[in-house]
Every structure is written in structure tokens, then in C-alpha cells.
């Protein structure tokens, strides 16, 4: 068998790699890559090369086997969206507060029962999705997130929402379906931009605070049929408010 001269060098290199065990050489991931999807890979830890991707903006880690998030995650200063649902996380660590560009954090379908207060340092966070976890209390520092617009807390074990949570005046959407709440703080009226509130099977909640009437931009209120709705909402005619009873 004869080979053209131009194929000899690549062939020799391939043979050398095979005999010397160099076929395991890692492929360099370009540091300029902005999106990375490592979902459903059976990973127990985030590969080290990820932390060298300085331009990374979107990281998907859905349905792996992570039980914790490493400190190195804080190196991703340009990261805007982090999806790490359906893993084995039990808490959200302080390193998330170092992600100064983070806009969306999705951690649904884990076992999370606590969130580090350092998350309040993620000043650009607009969407926080914590559905299907084990939170019993919604931490007060949530109210320190100046850009927070959408808050998803369905299917948790929430018993208490601190008054100061509603210091997050940028909030537009909150969903509290399937929890164990017995009251909603009257401070919810501070969220003047709130447009949607969803509270189906939110707990033993039987009466809503009168302060809801101050939410002039509210478009949708979804609650259980047995919940007592303030009369001022029932007679409102100045806004196209939809009250949905389930």
C-alpha cells in the first residue's frame, strides 16, 4: 500500500498518538463561547474548563447529579443565565452572589431548603425560579434584589413570607401555588409594579390583606374559591383586573 507524501505526516502523528496514549488529549473549549449546554450528562461536578470560559453568558446544567456548587463558579463574571434544575442541591451557596451579571437563576426540582443571603449581591437578577424545592421561609433579603421581576415558588413548603420581601418594588409576577401559607404580609402593597399574583392551594390562607387594593397595575389575581377577597378589589373598575377562582 502506498501513501501520497502529503498524508505521511498526519499518518505518522496519528500512529504516535495511538502508541503513546495521546488520544486522550483534551479538546480546548474556546474561551469566547457564550452558551454551553451540559444538561443530562450524568455529571457530579462541573468540568474545570467551564471556569476558564470568561465570556460565558448561558450555562445549562439541568438534570445531572450535582449536590453542591463550587467556589470557582464565581469566576464567570459575564454569566447571565444559570439553569441547574433537577439535581441534588440542598442549599444555594454564597458564590451565587459573586455572579454580578446574573439575570436568571433556575434551580427547580432540587431539595433546596435554604438560600445564602449573599444572593442579594446579584443585583442584576430579574428572574428567580425555585419551584419544587423544600423552602419553609422566603428569606427577607429577597427584598434587596433591586431588579427582581419574576418570582416562582410553586410546590415548596413555605409557611412564612417576611414583610421585607416586598421591598422588591420592581416585582411584577409572583407565584406561590402549593405551599403552606396562612397569611400574606400587608407590605405586598409596596410592590406597585405587581401585575400577577398566583396562589392556588397556597396553604390555609383564607383572607387576603386589604392592602392589595393599592396595587393599581395588577391584572391577574388567581386564588382558591374559599379565599376572602377584599371588597375594594371586587368593585374595582379603573383597571382590567381579572380575578380567577379555582
Segment 59-76, tens digit of pLDDT: 999 999 999 999 999 999
> For position 20, what pLDDT does the model report?
42
Task: With a cut of 80, say whether residue 145 has pLDDT above it.
Answer: yes
Report pLDDT digits (tens) over 15-43. Answer: 444 444 433 334 445 556 999 999 999 99
Task: With a cut of 50, say whether residue 14 has pLDDT above it.
Answer: no
Q: How far apart are CA 163 and CA 175, in angstroms?
A: 17
Report pLDDT digits (tens) over 177-201. Answer: 999 999 999 999 999 999 999 999 9
> For position 237, what pLDDT does the model report?
57
Please, which pLDDT band fits residue 2 given cuts at 50, 70 and 90?
A: low
pTM of the model as a whole: 0.85
SS3 call for 92:
strand
> For position 16, what pLDDT does the model report?
47
Task: With a cut of 50, say whether residue 8 has pLDDT above it.
Answer: no
Please, which pLDDT band fits residue 13 given cuts at 50, 70 and 90?
A: very low
> For position 240, what pLDDT does the model report?
82
> For position 159, what pLDDT does the model report?
95
Mean local confidence (pLDDT), 101-130: 97
Of 137, 136, 135, 105, which is closest to residue 120 (Cα–Cα)?
105
Q: How far apart are CA 71 and CA 221, in angstroms?
A: 40
Percent of the chain scoring above 70 in pLDDT: 86
> For position 29, what pLDDT does the model report?
54
> For position 120, what pLDDT does the model report?
95
Strands 137-138 and 160-161: parallel
Task: With a cut of 80, say whether residue 228 has pLDDT above it.
Answer: yes
Which domains are seen in the chain, by residue range?
33-245 (3.80.10.10)
**What is the DSSP annotation of 67-123?**
SS--GGGGG-TT--EEE--SS---EE-GGGGG-TT--EEE--SS---EE-GGGGG-T
Report pLDDT digits (tens) over 230-241. Answer: 998 988 755 689
Report pLDDT digits (tens) over 116-137. Answer: 999 999 999 999 999 999 999 9
> For position 238, what pLDDT does the model report?
59
| Torsion angles phi and psi, residue 61, rounded to 5 | -130, 25
Amino acid at each position: 500500500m502506498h501513501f501520497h507524501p502529503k498524508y505521511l505526516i498526519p499518518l505518522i502523528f496519528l500512529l504516535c498518538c495511538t502508541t503513546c496514549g495521546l488520544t486522550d488529549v483534551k479538546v480546548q473549549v474556546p474561551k469566547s463561547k457564550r452558551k454551553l449546554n451540559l444538561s443530562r450528562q450524568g455529571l457530579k461536578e462541573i468540568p474545570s474548563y467551564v471556569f476558564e470560559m470568561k465570556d460565558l453568558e448561558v450555562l445549562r446544567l439541568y438534570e445531572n447529579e450535582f449536590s453542591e456548587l463550587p467556589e470557582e463558579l464565581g469566576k464567570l463574571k459575564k454569566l447571565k443565565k444559570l439553569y441547574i434544575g433537577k439535581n441534588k442541591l440542598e442549599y444555594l451557596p454564597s458564590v451565587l452572589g459573586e455572579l454580578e451579571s446574573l439575570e436568571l437563576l433556575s434551580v427547580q426540582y432540587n431539595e433546596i431548603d435554604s438560600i445564602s443571603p449573599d444572593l442579594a449581591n446579584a443585583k442584576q437578577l430579574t428572574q428567580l425560579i425555585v419551584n419544587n424545592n423544600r423552602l419553609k421561609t422566603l428569606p427577607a433579603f429577597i427584598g434587596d434584589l433591586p431588579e427582581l421581576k419574576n418570582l416562582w415558588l410553586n410546590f415548596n413548603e413555605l409557611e412564612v413570607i417576611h414583610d421585607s420581601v416586598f421591598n422588591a418594588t420592581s416585582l411584577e409576577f409572583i407565584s406561590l401555588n402549593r405551599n403552606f401559607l396562612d397569611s400574606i404580609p400587608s407590605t405586598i402593597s409596596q410592590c406597585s409594579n405587581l401585575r400577577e399574583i398566583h396562589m392556588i392551594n397556597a396553604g390555609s390562607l383564607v383572607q387576603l390583606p386589604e392592602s392589595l387594593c393599592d396595587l393599581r397595575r395588577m391584572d391577574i389575581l388567581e386564588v382558591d374559591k374559599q379565599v376572602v377577597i377584599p371588597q375594594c378589589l371586587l368593585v374595582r373598575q379603573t383597571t382590567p383586573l381579572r380575578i380567577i377562582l379555582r
